[in-house]
Amino acid sequence: MSKIHVMSEILANKIAAGEVIERVSSVIKELVENSIDANSKSIKIDLVDSGIKKLSVTDDGVGMDRNDAKLAFSRHATSKLLKEDDLFFINTLGFRGEALPSIASVSKVNLKTSTGGVGTEIIIHGGKLISEKDSDSRVGTKIVVEDLFYNTPARLKYLKSETTELSNIVMYIEKLSLANPNIKFTLTNNEKVIVSTSGSGNLLKTIHEVYGYLVSSNMINITASNEDYDIYGFICKPSILKSNRNHITTIVNGRIVKNIELNKAINDGYYTYKPDIKYPIVVLTINTDPTIIDVNIHPTKQDIKFSKIEELTKLVTDSIKDSLYKSLLVPKIEVKEIKKDNEIFMPQVKEYQVNKDLYKVNDSQVKFDFKEVEKEVIENKLDREEKNVLVKNLELYPVGSVMGTYIIAENEDNMYLIDQHAAQERINYERYLKSLSSKEITTTDLLIPITIELTGSDYLKLKERINILTDMGFNIEEFGLNTIIIKSHPTWLLEGYEKDSIERLIDLTVNEYNIDRVKFNDNIAKTLACKMSVKGNTRLTIDEMESLLNDLVLCDNPYNCPHGRPTIITFTKYELEKMFKRIMN
């Protein structure tokens, strides 16, 4: 008797479901993407108990006739690929023909669909056809999925809590909304609306509908292209950051993807504009020839391969850097009044951040003109010359300091608080980086050479990499056992801190495992800038404050220290008068 046999279609579909259908959000993803491929303009997702008990997806797409409706539940049945060459020109979200049969094999499915004539209703339980009959003629498709994983108890057991499952679904629908601003999305759970977008086709408006006013009004538009890629979207100002990467949305030819190299390129674009542990809100659309990407590398189709990834990552990083450079990034202050029992308490002052209460805001819930938000965002896109003029005209007149750490400055319209350590760190960082990048090296001879003792292991490592320091302009000689002597050094070392600076440079030289010269210079500049800047709780004179502020506004990025912390925040005159009740509205 033969040992090898062809498995049944139901068993094959259950195995495929193990790869394609991992949780409730996987079902939503596959069904909604089918609706998008069907040219829907309105998609409604209704959940009962986060979709674990029941979910439905209703669209106004082209629908299916009876033959197509039955065939759609057959494995590898698809309308999106006809011949082998089509695999290289994929322009749809789905193409494998695995989703519907996989879902039907592990749940109870009811499908109603019509192209405008008599509709079709098909009911399938656990992959078995229960009934097939006529239905209403509403154009489009509605699929109801109940009791997910009812016949695969091991998978059902490991579903997450309702809150976790709902969170995953909401996150994906939000990303789909951002990828398809021309489609109206509505998501409900137990009849409560959670996500609602207008389908206006305006990406910035969709960002507002998903994230709220505080985020949408702090976005920066980016547009760029090269020979292979066109990119368009919005990135947030560094004052609006998140603690994880979940709010980086990358869309390639209409498909939401998670790509490590793309995420790194975006993060690199924010280098020195944010702390390493914080991540931006980004919606980035990338369009390219489908022949230079491969979407057929994973069953969920959420990762893709790029044949020219270096060109793309450079375009993304440079575009973000350039857009941030051209924008004025001084954070404002949000003033909130706390009212209770008809009493007005003193207002709270908080750094501008995402207000979770506004996270699910709609136009009808907030009284403001979206056109004004859009205008404000578009006006943030200044060319380089305008930006330089604006920054250099940011007149800051110091009037004192608080806690020996924060400089208070003013001009005709605003009051500013400047972190004196962060500000000087930025100034020093750019000076060091410019000196390290310069081809011209000027040195200073030491009247009394500096002697530095090392451990045996560090001494051997330094000897191996001594050219790194000599190329910078250091004159170094051996001076006994595990000891070196410095006879001259580059002029950019801070006077009075020469030995301390050299010791830190040696430490970096010895301990860097792989030395990339650009990154090494950046590490040197950041390390020396931090250690050689005025510390907090140090009182400065008015003249010293004025000198520091004059240097700060001339920096390429005066808004952040090299580690991404803000250097300066502002209160407008209006906000101050509101706090002191000079303005009561």
The DSSP line for 311-377 is: HHHHHHHHHHHHHHHTS----BEEEE--EETTEEPPPEEEES---GGGTT--GGGS-S-HHHHHHHH
Tell me if residue 187 falls in helix, strand or coil.
Answer: strand
386 vs 399 pLDDT, higher one = 399
Tell me if residue 157 falls in helix, strand or coil.
Answer: helix
Phi-psi region of 42 (alpha: psi -120 to 50; beta: other; left: phi over 0): beta
Angle at 433 between CA 432 and CA 438, to 5 degrees: 100
The arithmetic mean of pLDDT across residues 566-574, rounded, is 85
The arithmetic mean of pLDDT across residues 92-108, rounded, is 71
Given this model, what pLDDT does residue 40 score? 93
Given this model, what pLDDT does residue 300 score? 55
Where is average pLDDT lowest: 68-82, 468-482, 525-539? 68-82
Q: Is the dihedral of CA 334, 340, 346, 348 positive or negative?
A: negative
Given this model, what pLDDT does residue 419 score? 92
Question: Does 341 have pLDDT greater than 60?
Answer: no
The arithmetic mean of pLDDT across residues 379-397, rounded, is 55
At 396-406, the pLDDT tens digits run: 889 998 988 99
Given this model, what pLDDT does residue 111 score? 92
Given this model, what pLDDT does residue 78 score? 55
Tell me if residue 11 falls in helix, strand or coil.
Answer: helix
At 198-213, the pLDDT tens digits run: 999 999 999 999 998 8
384 vs 538 pLDDT, higher one = 538
The arithmetic mean of pLDDT across residues 349-361, rounded, is 35
The arithmetic mean of pLDDT across residues 347-360, rounded, is 36
> How far from chain centre, in Å, is Cα 568?
23
Mean pLDDT of the chain: 80
Where is average pLDDT lowest: 69-73, 179-183, 250-254, 512-516? 512-516
Question: Does 269 have pLDDT greater than 60?
Answer: yes
The 10 Å CB-count burial string (b at 16+, else e) for 27-64 is: bbbbbbbbbbbbebeebbbbbeebbbebbbbbbbbbbb
Q: Longest C-alpha distance within the chain, in Å?
A: 99
At 418-473, the pLDDT tens digits run: 999 999 999 999 988 888 888 788 888 888 899 988 888 888 888 888 888 888 88
At 471-510, the pLDDT tens digits run: 888 999 988 888 999 999 988 887 777 888 888 888 888 8
Domains of the chain: 9-195 (3.30.565.10), 202-393 (3.30.230.10), 443-490+495-531 (3.30.1370.100)
Question: Does 50 have pLDDT greater than 70?
Answer: yes
The arithmetic mean of pLDDT across residues 401-418, rounded, is 88
Given this model, what pLDDT does residue 198 score? 93
Query: Percentage of the chain surpassing pLDDT 70?
Result: 78
The separation between the first and the last C-alpha atoms of the chain, rounded to the nearest angstrom, is: 88
Given this model, what pLDDT does residue 89 score? 46
At 11-35, the pLDDT tens digits run: 454 444 444 577 888 889 889 988 9
Tell me if residue 479 falls in helix, strand or coil.
Answer: coil
584 vs 380 pLDDT, higher one = 584
Where is average pLDDT lowest: 14-28, 527-541, 565-579? 14-28
Given this model, what pLDDT does residue 386 score? 47
Given this model, what pLDDT does residue 349 score? 38
Question: Does 123 have pLDDT greater than 70?
Answer: yes
Tell me the C-alpha to C-alpha distance, in Å, between residue 3 and each of 6, 7, 84. 10, 12, 32
Where is average pLDDT lowest: 247-251, 279-283, 389-393? 389-393
Given this model, what pLDDT does residue 348 score? 41
Given this model, what pLDDT does residue 557 score? 86
Q: Which tokens belong to 171?
A: 């996150």
Report the chain's C-alpha Rg in angstroms. 30
Given this model, what pLDDT does residue 347 score? 40
The arithmetic mean of pLDDT across residues 123-134, rounded, is 88
Question: Does 95 have pLDDT greater than 70?
Answer: no
Residue 276 near residue 241, CB atoms below 8 Å: no
